[in-house]
Amino acid sequence: MSPLDILIFLFFILVTIKAAASCIDYWRDAEEAFDEAAPARPLKPAASLSRTVRTGRPSSVRVTPIKRVNTPISASYSNCLIDQQLQLKDKGAA
């Protein structure tokens, strides 16, 4: 590898490191600006468990099964197909 190739690779490595560092600094600054701009909200009291978790299903909701198309053949079924195949000797092939 020539010295020129090494310098070109070093240049690309340094540019990549600089771009990564700039990206990290940009997003860190953006996050700090967002935190400063966001108003502090008072925390709501925790709701009771019965209100938070819905255990029932509304009567208007209907569950429909998923239809499978082109289901793969199971391994046990493929073994049965081997028994049904004709051997080359049976057909008169050489």
Here the tokens at position 28 are 């860190």
Here the tokens at position 63 are 């569950």
Each residue's pLDDT tens digit, 34-72? 888 776 666 666 555 555 566 666 667 777 777 777 766
Instruction: Give 25's pLDDT tier (boundaries 50, 70, 90).
Output: very high
| pLDDT score of 36 | 81
CA 76 to chain centre: 32
Instruction: Please work out, in degrees rounded to the nearest 5, the angle formed at the alpha carbon of residue 33 by the alpha carbons of 27 and 36.
Output: 145
pLDDT: which is higher, 89 or 18:
18
